[in-house]
Amino acid sequence: MFQIRIHGRGGQGVVTGAEMLSVAAFMEGRHAQAFPSFGSERTGAPVVAFCRIDDKEIRLREPIQDPDCLILQDPTLLKVIDVFSGLNDKGYLLVNTSKTFDDLHLRAIVEKLPPGQAVIVPATDLALKHVKRPAPNAALLGAFAALTGLVRFDSVKRAIAEAFPGKVGEANIAAAQEAYDMVLAQDRARQAAPARV
């Protein structure tokens, strides 16, 4: 079983992001379970959503306490809650920011993870560019597909199109495509110069 926890704020499409990811996995014939941290969600308030993916029926109903991948949609949450709680040493980290890990003082956490398993993507910038709305969720799913290889990018595109039919979907897919390409480019650059993460 692979477990993903997404941290963000109300209005950023955190819950929809987890749901679209579960749909992408479902399209590949896998079992997936997406659910929100149930609360009184309000615009701007911290929101957590979860997604589990497995090849067999998922029976577990506890919130994800030991994620294999952490997606941080909003780095301002770093000052508010312990977003890294339970992230294991073999895990993946995906952060939406136009800054660097050093700017965010996350170098120590990144270095605990296997090389290449922590990446940053300016997903909000990409969303503003393509969708004209600061909803970074679709772009982050594109980045997730590139980072983990857990779901195919094609499935992510189809899941986005199902959630957002028409032009909005196309714009979100364009944002996801750019994020996907960015992460693959980062990976190629890292492998070309393995001395520096």
Partner 1 sequence: MLKQIEGSHAMAEAIALCRPEVICAYPITPQTHIVEGLGELVKSGALQDCEFINVESEFAALSVAIGASAAGARAYTATASQGLLFMAEAVYNAAGLGLPIVMTLGNRAIGAPINIWNDHSDAMSMRDAGWIQLFAETNQEAVDLHILAFRLAEELSMPVMVCVDGFILTHAVERVDIPDQAQVDAFLPPYDPVQVLDPEHPASIGAMVGPEAFTEVRFLAHYKQRQALRLIPAFSLDFAKIFGRAAGGLLRPYRIEDAETIVVAMGSVCGTIKDVIDAMRDEGEKIGAVSLVSYRPFPVDELRQILAPAKDVVVVEKSIAVGVGGPLADNIDGALRNLDRRPRLHSAIAGLGGRPISRASLRNLFRMAVESPWEGAHFLDLNEHVVGREIHRVRKVRRSGSTAENILRQLALASQLPPG
Please report whether residue 148 would count as binding partner 1 according to CB under 8 A.
Answer: no
Per CB under 8 A, the list member of 10, 35, 77, 84 interacting with partner 1 is 35
Do 142 and 176 touch, CB atoms closer than 8 A?
yes
Q: Which stretch in 22-30, 93-101, 131-139, 169-177 sits in contact with partner 1 by CB under 8 A?
A: 22-30
Q: In the chain, at which residue ranges do the beta strands (DSSP E only) sit?
A: 2-9, 31-36, 46-54, 69-72, 92-96, 118-121
Please report whether residue 34 would count as binding partner 1 according to CB under 8 A.
Answer: yes
Nearest residue to 179 (alpha-carbon basis) of 133, 107, 127, 132: 127
Site string for partner 1, 58-97 (x = CB under 8 A): xxxxxx-x--------------------------------
DSSP H or E run through 127: helix 123-130
| Least distance in angstroms from the C-beta of 39 to partner 1 | 8
Do 68 and 9 touch, CB atoms closer than 8 A?
no
Nearest residue to 86 (alpha-carbon basis) of 111, 66, 106, 69: 66
Tokens 């977003």: give the residue: 83
Question: How many CB atoms are closer than 10 A to CB 31?
Answer: 16
Per CB under 8 A, the list member of 31, 112, 129, 133 interacting with partner 1 is 31
| Least distance in angstroms from the C-beta of 60 to partner 1 | 5
Q: In this structure, which amino acid lies at residue 88?
A: N
Residues contacting partner 1: total by CB under 8 A: 21
Site residues for partner 1, window 99-138 (CB under 8 A)? none
Positions touching partner 1 (CB under 8 A) are 18-19, 22-23, 26-27, 31-36, 38, 40, 58-63, 65
